[in-house]
Amino acid sequence: MENNKFKKIGQFQYSSEAYIYKGKLESEGIEVFVRDNHTVDTDPLISNAIGGVKLFVRVEDYAEAMEILSEISTFSVDDTGNLIKCPSCGAEKIQLLTSIKDLKSFISFLFSFLVFVLPFYNRYQYKCESCGFEFSDETTKPRGISSKNIA
């Protein structure tokens, strides 16, 4: 039996995130091995405790896999696929925040949690990695265009 060596290429909180990267690598001809996906899918609350879902590639494919994954942006994009720019400094290193900051979002979260449905009230917050400025999704929409006016 061959002595294969593997190297971890990434770890993700949910298996759905891992499968996106797995699909990209496999489409480029790199064999990918997933670990702990069934455990996390069975009980997502223990994902952080076990280190999430892990992706592995063969050691000889590691450099090529890293190059392929570097093409995938980890920053937030708008509806047209362009990177979101910080209104404060203009940088394009914007991360999506998930937080509960007001009473309405807390009540929505609590109700959703109790009846096992997805939250129906959701306001997105973004944070710039360059300057630390936090802003809402309202800031990223073009001025003068409303979804009500679009046919």
**Structural domain boundaries in the chain:** 6-70, 74-151
Top-confidence range, 39-43, 62-66, 68-72, 87-91: 62-66
CATH architecture of the domain 6-70 equals 2-Layer Sandwich (3.30)
Confidence label for 116 from pLDDT (cuts 50, 70 and 90): low
CA distances from 97 to 3, 6, 70, 128, 149 (A): 43, 33, 22, 10, 28
What percentage of the chain reaches a pLDDT higher than 90? 28
- Domain 74-151 in the same topology as domain 6-70: no
Topology of domain 74-151, per CATH? N-terminal domain of TfIIb (2.20.25)
Neighbours of 24 (CB within 10 A): 16
pLDDT score at 53: 93
